[in-house]
Amino acid sequence: MSEESGFDRFGLHPDVLDGLAAMGFKKPSPVQEQAIPLVLEGKDLIACAQTGTGKTAAFVLPLIDHLISHEKRHLSALILTPTRELALQIDQQIEGLSYYSPISSIPIYGGGDGALWDQQHKALRQGADLVVATPGRLWSFMATGNFNFDSLRYLVLDEADRMLDMGFLEDIMRIVARLPKDRQTLMFSATMPDRIRQLAGSILRDPAQVSIAVSRPADKIEQMAFKVMDPHKLQVLTALLAEFPFRSALIFCSSKDKVKQLHQTLRKAGVMNEAFHSDLDQSARETLMRAFKAGRLPVLVGTDVLSRGIDVDNIDLVINYDVPPDPEDYVHRIGRTGRAERNGRSMTMVNPMDLRRWKRIEELVGRSLPWTERPLCGWTESPANSAGSGENRGGRPHRKPGYRPNRTKK
């Protein structure tokens, strides 16, 4: 029984409306509002929307709706996505939204052991209706020639910019070359640089366009920034964690070595946390993610591996222990909070070397982000440090934190 919902106007199949009710989605998000009618109409689509906007359901809902009416559904839709975490999340969303529909899906992603390979290979040959795959792994299977996508009708490229950043262009093009030309293609990307437009030009046909909040963080996220010298970061971090109440927090570091170190140090300081990075195998990642989602693990410390592949709604705090080199990553990191109409808070620790990066972030988010003053940050307003959100003037290297010039003349 489908309840009256804001989704009624799309004319979706009652089974899909029941799935929506079961998932608790009452009102379409802006990207859903715009994209769903276009996809239902059968148009190719290029959509600029970041994670957290509800973009997954924007393509999953009309796909399920289309597939319900097909008799032959075997391998008829393919969703390409950059990471295994995203593949799993999309697959879970399909499972939820198609709970009342006769639609099957499989996630295909790399890593794991030979048993996982065999299981995924078998699933592809025997067939699910919808395949959600990372490009590298899918291509490894397609190269075996044991199955084909001859009956494919729908192709989705999810987080296209990220897939290109991760070097998947060649795999994507090889996969697309083996798909039927007569299909509907949808492309979702958080940003629309030229290379994405070129990719769109080569694989989409006369696409409709939808653009949502061009790579800007949701307004509901309170973005705080602190000027902190590296040796003071830990002290400031533990004080912030104690001061600002949270249920679930993510802490991002620039490298997995830093993640491992911070994880241990926080643990010794009594902060219950786990480290999430690319050295962990898939089952370890899933175990951590389950504990985090269930609220049994309050803090995850991770690299940017975490920033894309996590679909948890109740994260209230994201901390950038380091400023990410790429401003887009900042948006993705803090986009883990403030999801699904909830409020969130992000905190970024900026050292003098990061001022230039911080300025680029401000440019991307489209406004200046004021500093929050903190004691014990170790930051003195030396000319090099005081360039507002500016530069390392004159290109001179900043002093190393803790460096004291030796005043004794030789």
Structure token digits, residue 229: 């010298």
Min separation Cβ 279 and ligand AMP, Å: 25
Nearer of residues 171 and 311 to ligand AMP, judged by Cβ: 311
Nearer of residues 316 and 362 to ligand AMP, judged by Cβ: 316
Contact set with ligand AMP (CB under 6 A): 25, 27-29, 32, 51-57, 311, 313, 339-340
What distance in Å separates the CA atoms of residue 288 and residue 94, rounded to the nearest whole number? 22
What distance in Å separates the CA atoms of residue 170 and residue 181, rounded to the nearest whole number? 18
Nearer of residues 47 and 124 to ligand AMP, judged by Cβ: 47
What distance in Å separates the CA atoms of residue 89 and residue 84, rounded to the nearest whole number? 8
Residues contacting 394, CB < 8 A, separation 6+ = none
Min separation Cβ 19 and ligand AMP, Å: 12
What distance in Å separates the CA atoms of residue 255 and residue 59, rounded to the nearest whole number? 33
What distance in Å separates the CA atoms of residue 79 and residue 185, rounded to the nearest whole number? 10
Q: Give the long-range contacts of residues 139-146, CB within 8 A, separation 24 or more.
A: 139/171, 139/174, 139/175, 140/110, 141/108, 142/174, 142/175, 142/178, 146/121
Min separation Cβ 345 and ligand AMP, Å: 18
Q: Which residue has the tokens 């830990």?
A: 234
Nearer of residues 150 and 341 to ligand AMP, judged by Cβ: 341
Nearer of residues 32 and 389 to ligand AMP, judged by Cβ: 32
Min separation Cβ 353 and ligand AMP, Å: 32
Nearer of residues 55 and 285 to ligand AMP, judged by Cβ: 55
Min separation Cβ 23 and ligand AMP, Å: 7
Q: Which residue has the tokens 């040796």?
A: 231
Min separation Cβ 13 and ligand AMP, Å: 17
Nearer of residues 81 and 389 to ligand AMP, judged by Cβ: 81
Nearer of residues 263 and 336 to ligand AMP, judged by Cβ: 336
Min separation Cβ 84 and ligand AMP, Å: 15
Give the H/E segment covering residue 82: none
What distance in Å separates the CA atoms of residue 145 and residue 166, rounded to the nearest whole number? 25
Q: Which residue has the tokens 């393919």?
A: 78
**CA 308 to chain centroid:** 2
Residues contacting 403, CB < 8 A, separation 6+ = none
Of 238, 259, 248, 237, the residue nearest 289 (C-alpha): 248
Q: How many CB atoms lie within 10 A of CB 383?
A: 8
Min separation Cβ 99 and ligand AMP, Å: 14
